Amino acid sequence: MIQFLRVDKEKINPAEFSVIAGREAAVFFLKRLLYLILFIYSTQFLAVALPFVKTPFTPVYFIGSLATFILLARVANHIIKYVKFSGGKISVAPAEIIVHDSKNGYRISTESITYLEHNILGNLVIKEKYDRISFPLMLLAEDDREKLLAAFQDMAPKRTKNYRKIWEFVDAVVVALVLAVHIIQYIVQAYYIPTGSMEDTLQIGDHLFVEKITYGPIIPQMFGMEKSLHLSCLGIRGVERGDIVIFRPPHEQDKDYIKRCIALPGDRFEIKEGSVWINNKKLEEPYTKGITRWYNFGGEKNEIDGVVPQGKVVVLGDNRENSQDGRYFGYLEIEKIKGRAFILYWNTSQVLNFDFSRFGLIR
* CA atoms of 252 and 358, how far apart (whole Å): 30
Long-range contacts of 218-225 (CB under 8 A, 24+ apart): 218/185, 218/186, 218/335, 218/338, 220/45, 220/48, 220/49, 220/55, 220/185, 221/48, 222/44, 222/45, 222/48, 223/44
* CA atoms of 351 and 355, how far apart (whole Å): 6
**Catalytic-residue membership of 259:** yes
Catalytic residue among 42, 134, 212, 259: 259
Q: How far is CA 316 from the centre of its chain?
A: 32
Cβ atoms within 10 Å of 85's Cβ, excluding its own: 22
* CA atoms of 303 and 91, how far apart (whole Å): 82
* CA atoms of 42 and 60, how far apart (whole Å): 10
What does the DSSP 8-state code read for residue 334?
G
Q: CB–CB of 305/269 below 8 Å?
A: yes
Q: Which residues contact 18 (CB under 8 A, 6 or more apart)?
A: 88, 89, 140, 144
According to DSSP, the residues that pair with 300 across neighbouring strands are: 297
* Rg (alpha carbons) of the chain, rounded to whole number: 31
**Helix (H/G/I), strand (E/B), else coil: 276:** strand
Catalytic residue among 134, 197, 289, 338: 197
Residue 138, CB-side half-sphere exposure with 13 Å CA sphere = 20
**Catalytic-residue membership of 289:** no
* CA atoms of 172 and 166, how far apart (whole Å): 10
Residue 274, CB-side half-sphere exposure with 13 Å CA sphere = 4
| Helices 22-49, 157-186: crossing angle, 10 deg rounding | 60
| Helices 22-49, 58-85: crossing angle, 10 deg rounding | 170
Q: CB–CB of 338/256 below 8 Å?
A: yes
Instruction: Please list the active-site residues.
Output: 197, 259
